[in-house]
Chains A and B, each alone.
Chain A
Amino acid sequence: MMKNNKILYPIYILVLLFCFSSQLEAQVQFPRQGKIEFEKKLNIHKEIEGDTFYDSFKDKISKYQTTYFNLYFKDGKTLYEKGKENNEKIMFWSEDETTDDIVYSDIENGTFTKKQKVFEETFLINDSIRNIKWQITNETRDIAGFNCRKATGIILDSVYIIAFYTDQIPVSGGPLSYAKLPGMIMGVAIPRLNITIMATKLEMIEPKTEKMIPPAPGRAKKANYAGVIDQLRKSSISGWGSYGRKYLLKSLL
């Protein structure tokens, strides 16, 4: 596949699928700490489908808006923040403003802290990790060299979400604050919002202890999830029609 050249498989995590060894230990490694790079893609062509404004120059706009994030994990804690820069500019399309957001999750306690910018407001959201009724399927696929199982769920009442998790990373975390599956979530797809967030590689590094802390509040406004929803609903975004509703959903992922 075309993407293969982009994905790096660190050799030290090579999984020995077939172990005929007579040794007493299994040969599979279970990384308990490290850094996973995620590639977030927004399908712009899908977003603008049917929008007559873009019709006449659709070909001149990139099909995807790509941004990168890193997920650090260690001792049952995860930190999700912006990864490498992608300086690509897309005509008549604003930049992904979620790149400055930081999500710290404490998997064992089931809580997360997210510093999120919504236009001029910065929130520090403290809440428990969203309970999603995950339905486990029998489909599996390979993401960044890991065999992942597909699970599906519904968030925000009606938004269908697909997650791919791997048994092989024994940390029940994932990108943003998606978690609570029996293994690390290596990929998330939200078809209604035309977004995919897929792992591209795992680096077996030990994240620095000072990194694995909740984002500093600074001047951010403290809130819980319900509080943020409430504030967004009251803001002028609610007057933007269908675009506003979509923006609202995107801000609440």
Chain B
Amino acid sequence: MRKLTALFLVIGLFTITKSFAQHASLKGTVVDTTNKVNLRDAVITIMDRTDSSLVKFTRAVTDGSFAIKDILPGKYIIMISYPGYVEMIDTLLLKTGDALDYNQVALNTKAHLLQEVIVKQTIAPIRFKGDTMVFMADSFKVKPGATVEDLLKILPGISVNSKGEITAQGQQVQKVYVDGEEFFGDDPTMATQNLNKKDVKQIELFDKKTDQAILTGIDDGEKQKAINVVLKDDAKKGYFGRIEGGSDLNKYYQGKVTANRFTSTLKAGGYIGVDRTGRNAMSWEDMENFGGFTPVEENGETYLMFDNDSYSFFNSQGIPENLQSALMLNKKFGRLKNNTANNYSFNRQFIAGDSYTNSQYILPDTLYYFNQYNQNRSTRAKHGISTKTEINLDSMNTLTVNAKAGWTKSSGSSYGTSEYLSEERLRVNNSERSNSSDGTNNQAMADLFFKHKFNKNGTRSLTLSGGFSNTTNNNLGFLKNAINYYSNGNLDSSQVMDQLKRNINSSNTYKALASYVQPLGTKSTLNFNYTFNTSNSEQDIRTFEKMSTGKYDSLNALFSNHFIFKSSSHRGGLTYTYNTKKIYFRVGMALQDLSLQQTNLINDSSYSRNFINFFPNSNFRWKLSQSKSFSLSYSGSTQQPQLAQLQPILNNTDPLNLTIGNQALKPAFNHSFNFDFSDYKVMSGASKSIWGYFNFTENAFSSRTVVDIKGVRTTQTVNVSGNYNYYLRMSFGKKIKFLDMRYGIYPRINGSRFRSFVNGLENTTNTFSFTPEISISKNIEKKMDLYLSYNPTYTRSSSSINKGQVTKYWLQTIYFDLSYTISPGFMLSNNIRANYRQKLSPNDRSTNAFIWNINLEKKISKQKDLAVVLSVNDLLNQQIGFNRNVSSNFISESTYTMVQRYAMLSIRWKFSKNRKQNNDEE
């Protein structure tokens, strides 16, 4: 303000006359003396002298006169302004009752003002980098908290006027970049006035080509002055990560280390995790940090894809030993912000476990029992690499390369026994088998996409793509199997097998795609696409019998074969999309011409089939309001039979389960209808939604199973009609105001009809279940989270084959979650899952279980980065590894090894530098 007053020319005299009013007042007339004009509409502004805050203002009337009344006594600044004229600014001291008369206030046009600019210079380090002049920011001293503008003002050769406009070497600066990018719009002052000087490393001054020249590549010789503000590295570089590990000091452990480093153009990270609990998979947070999300835009809809080459580590059966590791490097490069994302991963899993399964098959005239014991050990190790690189050739053309390769080694062994009993519990057959195998699997694939935009916003575009993939499998294994067949409980015959199996198969696939999008007006688009796909695979299975010499060198021709499968398809599609803020509508149809061929190289025979497949689809979504929407969709698709269903290859891996082909198999056609209505009232917290689907299949693939007198099961794939399934879920949620809780009612039903053939009889199984779920939840920010849900499910199942038998039972499940912050940094969480299943007969073994997991976490450092966690898995040791599957003609129970109770003590350390944390985190 001092500066303002100093700059000021005050012309005009004023006299003070006393008046009797309590408050002070002032008046005057604004004129342009040179042109002898009264300045109507001139603004008279009164500001507080201490903080220049606005107190009062008025405008001069037609004759240029003005009057302001009722001003409280005090120290003020008065400013009288008129567009194009130099403002008059003066200080003012008003006492009670003062009535100030300015008489004539004369303003001068800006042309009359002689500007005197004094530039203070500090000689400081200035460097030249090519044509660019570089000022080192730290060498210029400014007041604490100064902005970039304050810095610019003292740089030699640069001046900033009151409008924030920057002049450098006599020319006006047109653009201000921050780290080479435009900052907060195109207004230079946004950068210069909002950035703190202390974050600035250097100021670069250079001549920039015009945007036109950059776009067209034609240098028109025109240059603009531009400034680039380079921020200090530590303002945009950083790292973060986590180390955690724990053990129960006995047989369970898990640990994880993640480390990430980032700069504005680079992101690199490493991840390694080991466990013997199966509960150490990548969390959502890990996935986010690892940067593996890719947004996918398809037909105007967007979704996220997580593309990470890891396999499922969640195993409910057996005790796993897992190792997962990954390295990642993402980098942006070039002026057009090309992007490359590269990954390497190594995963190893060992799993061991035992299981017993007892099954009962119920037929109208008979029933039989099947009991099995299995012992499994398997190891799998996989190395994987992947890259995804996006290159913007120019603003209209983009090239994307996706490539992936993986090398897997696996080995496993299993030992098992089984027995098949008749209704009278007499032995029909029993078997003992052991199996071991070692194998490798190598995979490689690459895709290349080229996208050309015909217009700037990309509404008219063409995408071309080509790719290949290759898979090779090599497997060597031993199979020993001894089966005894009985008749009336007496040994009838035996079958012994001791074989070596070598299996090599490989497959190559090539595909090409073209897709063109044509906008129809601003709301509709038409998409044409064509895909060609061809694949060639070879399967070579050799079976050798063990000879008396102890060597496996006699080829078993029946179970050895060599096939070549060829498949090629042309698919053309057309999709129309209509998309506005309220309505989204899509309708499309695709047609596929598919040919399959299977050639047997051993007996030189060939078999081929041709199919025409249809893929209609449509989707309608109506966005009624911000939080209310309705959608309806239909999709239809053809499923063609697999070659193995048409003409299976003889396989004796399990001689008690045989498969035969069905050359008359027709393609199945699946119709799927979906609807969804949701209405969430944010203000009142009430929600309503209904969601449902109905699927039915014409010529569905089902099975015809025949069990012969020896207990050998033969299965063939057949077409059936009338199969369907449906699901309907309603949800109502509301707030209970006085308890500050929410409750929800979620009734749901689902049902299905499935048709198959058992021993020549048609069997239709109808299943229906109903769950009227209710739940309550309460959340106190940073204090407590509570969730309780009760899920009773009623199931009814009947099959036509056993008319008298209808299975009905209740299954009740309770979920309870409570996390509570005892004191800042000290958190207790409980997680309970309880299951109660109605017994169908008093002899049934109970499957009831009450699984209670507890987690106690205490932050032990001031920065809250170090925490000790005590977790108890299955506190009551009720995880019994037991499962029962019941329908009216089939009952199966299995018991298996699984991770049971353990208490684990872990330590976790989180570290980070320069990483903005979300406010909600901790």
A residues lining the B interface (CB < 8 Å):
1-3, 15-26, 28, 30, 41, 43, 46, 49-53, 55-57, 59-60, 64, 87, 89, 91-92, 94-95, 97, 117-121, 133-142, 147, 151, 166-168, 170, 180-183, 189, 191, 196, 198, 231-232, 235-237, 239, 241-243
Contacts and interface: CB of A to CB of B under 8 A. Distances in A.
B84 A57 contact: no
B366 interface: no
Interface string B39-65: 111110101000111100101000000
B678 to A, nearest CB: 12
Contacts of A97: 626
B40 A26 contact: yes
Contacts of B581: 87, 95
A192 B404 CA distance: 43
Given A30-B41, A52-B289, A242-B918, A92 B302 contact: yes
Nearest to B332: A59
Max chain A C-beta neighbours (<10 A), residue from B194, B295, B522, B916: B295
A134 B110 CA distance: 26
Interface stretch (B182-190, B607-615, B881-889): B182-190
A56 B292 contact: yes
Contact of A237 (B43, B79, B163, B682): B682
A120 B52 contact: no
Interface string B211-229: 1000000000000000000
A170 B59 contact: yes
A139 B285 contact: no
A236 B683 contact: yes
Contacts of B182: 2
Interface of B: 1, 3-4, 32, 35-43, 45, 47, 51-54, 57, 59, 79, 81-84, 109-111, 162-165, 174-175, 182, 184-190, 194, 211, 267, 285, 288-289, 291-295, 297, 300, 302, 304, 330, 332, 337, 339, 522, 581, 625-628, 679, 681-685, 735, 779, 781, 915-920
A115 to B, nearest CB: 15
Contacts of B300: 89
A16 B84 CA distance: 8
Contacts of B4: 138
Given A64-B185, A97-B626, A139-B164, A52 B53 contact: no
Contact of B194 (A167, A181, A191): A191
A58 B682 CA distance: 28
Contact of B51 (A26, A135, A183): A135
A181 B54 contact: yes
A59 B53 CA distance: 42
B685 A17 contact: no
B45 A139 contact: no
Given A119-B682, A231-B683, A236 B781 contact: no
A191 B302 CA distance: 30
Nearest to B54: A134
B395 to A, nearest CB: 14
Nearest to A55: B291
Given A141-B165, A235-B682, A243-B920, 5 more contacts: A22-B35, A119-B682, A120-B684, A138-B162, A170-B41
A87 B917 CA distance: 33
B162 A236 contact: no
Contacts of A117: 626
B163 A139 contact: yes
List the 6 shortest-distance A-B pairs measured between CB atoms, nearest first: A50-B916, A242-B919, A119-B682, A182-B57, A56-B291, A236-B685
A236 B111 contact: no
Contacts of B781: 239, 241
A160 B183 CA distance: 19
Max chain A C-beta neighbours (<10 A), residue from B174, B293, B332: B293
A193 B291 CA distance: 26
Max chain A C-beta neighbours (<10 A), residue from B83, B294, B304: B83
Given A57-B295, A91-B297, A120-B683, A19 B185 contact: no
Nearest to A2: B186
Contacts of B919: 241-242
Nearest to A4: B186
Given A235-B683, A241-B781, A15 B302 contact: no
22 contacts: A2-B182, A17-B84, A19-B32, A24-B37, A30-B40, A49-B916, A52-B289, A55-B267, A59-B332, A87-B522, A91-B302, A135-B51, A135-B53, A140-B162, A147-B83, A167-B42, A167-B43, A183-B43, A189-B190, A191-B194, A241-B919, A242-B920
A135 B79 CA distance: 13
A141 B192 CA distance: 13
Contacts of A135: 51-54
B186 A28 contact: no
A2 to B, nearest CB: 5
Contact of A120 (B164, B304, B681): B681
A91 B257 CA distance: 32
A136 B685 contact: no
Nearest to A137: B52
Contacts of B295: 57, 60, 91-92
A55 B288 contact: yes
A98 B182 CA distance: 26
Nearest to A46: B184
Contacts of A180: 54
Contacts of B915: 50
A55 B291 CA distance: 7
Contacts of A198: 185, 187
A56 B294 contact: yes
A52 B288 contact: yes
Contacts of A87: 522, 581
A50 B185 CA distance: 20
Contacts of B37: 23-26
A141 B685 CA distance: 45
Nearest to B295: A57
Given A97-B626, A147-B83, A236-B682, A18 B109 contact: yes
Contact of A119 (B111, B681, B916): B681
A136 B45 contact: yes
Nearest to B174: A1
B478 to A, nearest CB: 47
Max chain B C-beta neighbours (<10 A), residue from A26, A60, A142, A170: A26
Contacts of B185: 3, 41, 43, 64, 196, 198
A91 B919 CA distance: 23
A219 to B, nearest CB: 13
Contacts of A191: 194
A22 B182 CA distance: 46
